[in-house]
Amino acid sequence: MKRKLFFALDVIAMALLLGSTTLAAPAPKTFPQAVQANAHAAIKTTFNINVVFVGYDTDDVDISRFEAELPTTYNPQVIAPLYYGIEFPVGIEGDYAFNYTFAPTSFADTLFEHLASIGTKDSLTNFQKDYNNQVNKSLTITGKVLYIDAPSTEKWLMTHARRDLGIDVSTYTIFFINWHGRSDFQFHVYTKTDSPDPDTGYNFGIERASRKMIAWGGSHGRTWFYDLSAGPEFWSDNWNVDDADLNSDGITDYRMPPVWEYGNVSGYRPFDDLSGDLGKIARWVAIDLLFTTSPFYDPLASAPHSGRGKRIFINMLEDAAKSSHGSTWIDKAYILKTMQQFQPYYKWSVTLKERRIGKAKQPFRIWVGLVSMSDCWDVYEDILAELFCFFDNNRDDYLPITQKDYIGGVFAFNTTDKNLNDMGWLWFADDNWLDGTPSYVFTFSTPQFRDLGYGFSTTTTSAFGLHIGGSFSTSGYDSDTKTDFGPDGDLYFVWSGDESHTVMSGIKLSNDFGRFDHDNMERFLAARALSRASEIAAQVRQINNGRETRELLEDADTELNRARESFRAMEYEHAAQQALAGLERVRNAAQLANLNVPIVEPLSRGGPRKGPKYVNPIRFPKN
């Protein structure tokens, strides 16, 4: 049976109460050459990336070993079609230029004095205690540790790198930090505590030891820091220096131990490997997942018609006791504000319709595995297609019929723990089961999920962010190797991508989209609009070269050239707006030429899926 694996963001189930578990994901997959959906390169550019070492000296980091791990090209792909054998380039051909700085001792002195001053002393985290119980540890963490605000640290680094080191932090910048080995060293972790869940009020940053971190970025700018002298922590499992295989799948889970474990007596990792490990973090986490990632779905697939907007239409399906109402656990104003901030160049609206589960009850029972029977899923040979095919077949009963706005259908199940049948998913953003085009969003809430701090609002926002072309902070695409990947095996350490400002993260510390989300989405939209405008303009010129048509195309060229200039200047919001305006003018020219062209050309069918769809491993942190 073909399997279709869905994405679940920071999913919590009963196992949370029993311990800490990770469900294994498929190994990184390199996709075969197949149908090519869009071969036009809309723009070529170079991404300049600063790499700043603070607390490391030139003897600690071998730049040649570090550079050997770095990527050379950036050619993002729309990921979902890859699972159907369809290559779908976004339209960006990029490369990278790296600038290295070893911060002087005076800079490190000032930073660590600042961290000591803003940190709050508290008890060891549970995972620091777990580290102390490891057989092969090289030291024991004692006393109080500093809890340091991560966004404040990011802001300090940006300000002082610009002022004291002359670094242009308007471009992407990675700070590798090492406090250990100094006389003023203090054990420490980083925190973010300012984003409680908008529905439940639960503050993961305060309540969960699993949310004490070693990295952060994207709150204030295009910077991300990574501190191996912090922690050890849960999120990357670098507290565990005894066990090679963490999820019992027979594969070593590669992770970066605390900096003091490099070259220790027990030999967890040779000191010479530190340089390459930092290079791996730069490539697979900072660059591939945060700075320059790939969209899961085509961002133009959800673009509205000219002058129209995007409407999130939420069907709240009540499948619980009459005393429980899903509308209690969803905040339309929050969803609207967050999406407006993310894509301000579109008009947004949010509609919520509450109804009993009704005729959707049986498909839902089939999907969760409580009822075993044939239904529309048979066509796809997988019961996980059941929700998609039921709502697609009955779309007019649930979603408005309109040619005005883009309608994003969300089906929210307010159900019970029993009725969800331990599926353990908060949400997934499904495709059309044909070619990787986005279809509908499904979200779930139960009393247990709410007790653990989760409402509908952030799950809806996260899922819809993926639906419109966003990406996760722990799964992406590497252009050099043509590999779709996530945190498992040799790349287990990419869990660190979650330690950044984004609602598209399983760590649940941010309720909105951060700087990296905005940059990537705006780049995707700009490149796709530029590419699609070129394709349509070529068709128009073949059949109509009249004066009015030429003038529209000339106006479009002006906007599109402005978009390219803005893109290269890293003014990505302007680039997206200008490219979309240029695309609109090209489409107007097509209409004048009586050429009916869709905003997105239907994908060429690539045949059956070419392998399992990657799914984020489901994590059950015990606190």
Pairing of strands 73-74, 145-149: unpaired
In this predicted structure, what is the pLDDT of residue 399?
97
* Higher per-residue pLDDT: 547 or 523: 523
Q: Are residues 459 and 556 in the same domain?
A: no
Q: Are residues 342 and 260 in the same domain?
A: no
Classify residue 396 as exposed, middle or buried by CB count within 10 Å of its CB (0-12, 13-18, 19+): exposed
Q: Please provide the DSSP assignment of 386-440 as one string.
A: HHHHHHHHTHHHHS---SSSEEEEEEEEE--HHHHTT---SEEEEE-SSSS-EEE
Q: Are residues 308 and 252 in the same domain?
A: no
605 pLDDT more than 80 = no
pLDDT 10s digits, 194-205 = 999 999 999 999
Compute the CA torsion angle 240, 423, 7, 38 (nearest 10 deg): 150
> Coil, strand or helix: which one is 131?
helix
Q: How far is CA 540 from CA 394, 562, 598, in A?
A: 37, 21, 13
Rg over alpha carbons for the chain, rounded to the nearest Å, is 25
Q: Domain for residue 28, yes or no?
A: no
pLDDT band at 608 (very low <50, low <70, confident <90, very high): low
Q: Give the CA count within 13 Å in the CB-facing half-sphere of 99.
A: 14
Determine the average pLDDT of the residues in 233-262.
95
Q: Are 134 and 246 in contact (CB under 8 A)?
A: no
Q: Are residues 451 and 524 in the same domain?
A: no
Phi and psi, residue 175, nearest 5°: -110, 120
Q: What is the token pair recorded at 594?
A: 């009586």
Q: Domain for residue 353, yes or no?
A: yes
Of 428, 453, 468, the one marking the end of a domain is 468
Please enumerate in sequence order all residues whose Cβ is within 8 A of that of 546, keeping only pairs 6 or more positions apart, or say none. Answer: 592, 593
pLDDT 10s digits, 336-390 = 999 999 999 999 999 999 999 999 999 999 999 999 999 999 998 889 999 999 9
Pairing of strands 406-414, 309-318: parallel
pLDDT 10s digits, 102-144 = 999 999 999 999 999 999 999 999 999 999 999 999 999 999 9
Going by C-alpha positions, the residue among 521, 478, 474, 517 that lies closest to residue 499 is 474
Q: Are residues 265 and 327 in the same domain?
A: no
> Coil, strand or helix: which one is 59?
coil
Q: Are residues 270 and 318 in the same domain?
A: no
Q: Domain for residue 257, yes or no?
A: yes
Q: Are 526 and 576 in contact (CB under 8 A)?
A: yes
Q: How far apart are CA 125 and CA 145, in angstroms?
A: 9
Pairing of strands 483-485, 29-30: antiparallel
Going by C-alpha positions, the residue among 501, 597, 570, 603 that lies closest to residue 82 is 603
Q: What is the token pair recorded at 570?
A: 């890293």
pLDDT 10s digits, 255-297 = 999 999 998 666 689 999 999 999 999 999 999 999 999 999 9
Q: Give the CA count within 13 Å in the CB-facing half-sphere of 293.
A: 32
In this predicted structure, what is the pLDDT of residue 324?
81
Q: Domain for residue 473, yes or no?
A: no
> Coil, strand or helix: which one is 595?
coil
State the distance between the two ends of the chain, measured CA to CA, in whole angstroms.
Answer: 36
Q: How far apart are CA 547 and CA 123, in angstroms?
A: 75
Q: How far apart are CA 251 and CA 257, in angstroms?
A: 17
Q: Are residues 230 and 247 in the same domain?
A: yes
Please enumerate in sequence order all residues whose Cβ is within 8 A of that of 274, keeping only pairs 6 or more positions apart, or say none. Answer: 60, 61, 259, 262
Q: Domain for residue 41, yes or no?
A: no
Q: Are residues 331 and 268 in the same domain?
A: no
In this predicted structure, what is the pLDDT of residue 40?
59
36 pLDDT more than 90 = no
Q: Are residues 285 and 224 in the same domain?
A: yes
Q: Domain for residue 334, yes or no?
A: yes
Q: 555: domain range? A: 517-592
Determine the average pLDDT of the residues in 591-610.
80
Helix-helix angle 515-543:332-342, to 10 degrees? 60
Q: Which helix (H) or strand (E) is 439 found in, with range? A: strand 438-445
Q: Are residues 121 and 155 in the same domain?
A: yes
**CATH classification at residue 361:** 3.40.390
Q: Are residues 522 and 580 in the same domain?
A: yes
Q: Give the CA count within 13 Å in the CB-facing half-sphere of 387.
A: 26
29 strand-pairing partners: 484
Of 291, 325, 355, the one marking the end of a domain is 291
Q: Are 500 and 216 in contact (CB under 8 A)?
A: yes
Number of domains in the chain: 3
In this predicted structure, what is the pLDDT of residue 422?
87
Q: Are residues 322 and 342 in the same domain?
A: yes
Q: Domain for residue 78, yes or no?
A: no
pLDDT band at 321 (very low <50, low <70, confident <90, very high): confident
Q: Chain centroid to CA 42: how far?
A: 24
In this predicted structure, what is the pLDDT of residue 537?
93
Q: Domain for residue 71, yes or no?
A: no
